[in-house]
Chain A
Amino acid sequence: MVSESTSLSGEFDMTSSSSNQQEAFERNRRAFQDHLERLLAAHEGKYALVHAEVIVDTFDSMRNAYEHGRQHFGLDPIYIGHVVGKPDVVHMPTLVHGLIHAHL
């Protein structure tokens, strides 16, 4: 069963352009990586919010970091980095062609 989506008139655009957005995301990510060693010394386990290549602050949760980012920077590109020595990983065994629809 698939529901009907709400249809709205008018343009929506959360970013000036997706390529600019991606470039800003990458710059913010690099800024986080550049500061990670220093962050680990004082903020291990926290979530760092990066905006315009500046570490804005650290937060107890990713949700708090995200809320702060949207409240203060609107829709500007942000990056949230987990301040940990060993990066987080996610396991997704189904994310391979054939596993979702595999049957004889």
Chain B
Amino acid sequence: MPICNRGHLQVTPAGIEGNPSQLRIEGARIACEVRTDPRDVLALQASGRAIPPGVSGILLVDTGAGMTAIDESILADLGIPSITDTRVFTPMGSAIQSVYSCSLEFPGSNLPPARSLFVLGADLGSQGIVGLLGRDVLEQAVLVYNGTAGGWTLAF
């Protein structure tokens, strides 16, 4: 079972310890690369067009998100077209937002890529992250958030 352990450490008089404060500030974050859906890659190749390079960034693990979301500007840069839409509820109200298909890879970890994943397009650029890893992916995993130790574990 692929397991990803991440944590924040700090040097204290007692030695090196976990840093719960930093985990509280940053949340559970993991490096990822957003890529074109393999089926779109095949269609691009069939039409003789180049495959866009992936876009790297940070995903925030979000158990509050019903669906994984990716910054819409990144999806636009990759030329990924929307395929449907859905109504999204937030504490500020609801809105219709587009849904796309893409792949997520997790460089620097042994987590398996999420290929052909349907994601919500969202305006996340100002948040310093490329997206939110939601419960549609987490439903296939075990997530342990160890606040007292300043770390978290994700296992598929």
Contact = CB atoms under 8 A, between A and B. Distances in A.
Interface string B83-126: 11111111110100000010000011000000010101010101
Given A14-B79, A89-B89, A70 B84 contact: no
Contacts of B27: 100
Given A5-B33, A88-B86, A74 B47 contact: yes
A11 B89 contact: no
Given A12-B44, A95-B88, A66 B25 contact: no
Interface in B33-70: 33, 36, 39-40, 42-44, 46-47, 49-58, 60, 62, 64-67, 69
Interface in A65-93: 66-67, 69-71, 74-75, 77-82, 87-93
Nearest to A78: B83
Contact of B40 (A4, A9, A70, A95): A70
A14 B80 contact: yes
Contact of A3 (B56, B65, B91): B56
Contacts of A11: 49-50
Contacts of B64: 91-94
B89 A70 contact: no
Q: Which of A18, A81, A99 has the most CB of B within 10 A?
A: A99
Given A25-B81, A66-B39, A90 B129 contact: no
A56 B25 CA distance: 48
Interface residues of B, number: 59
A55 to B, nearest CB: 14
B154 to A, nearest CB: 15
Contacts of A66: 39, 83, 101, 116, 118
A12 B84 contact: no
Query: Which 8 residue pairs spanning A and B have beta carbons closest together?
Result: A14-B79, A3-B107, A10-B50, A70-B39, A12-B52, A12-B50, A93-B64, A90-B66
Interface of A: 1-15, 18, 21-22, 25, 29, 62-63, 66-67, 69-71, 74-75, 77-82, 87-97, 99-101, 103
Given A8-B51, A10-B50, 7 more contacts: A6-B54, A13-B49, A14-B52, A75-B40, A94-B65, A95-B90, A100-B127
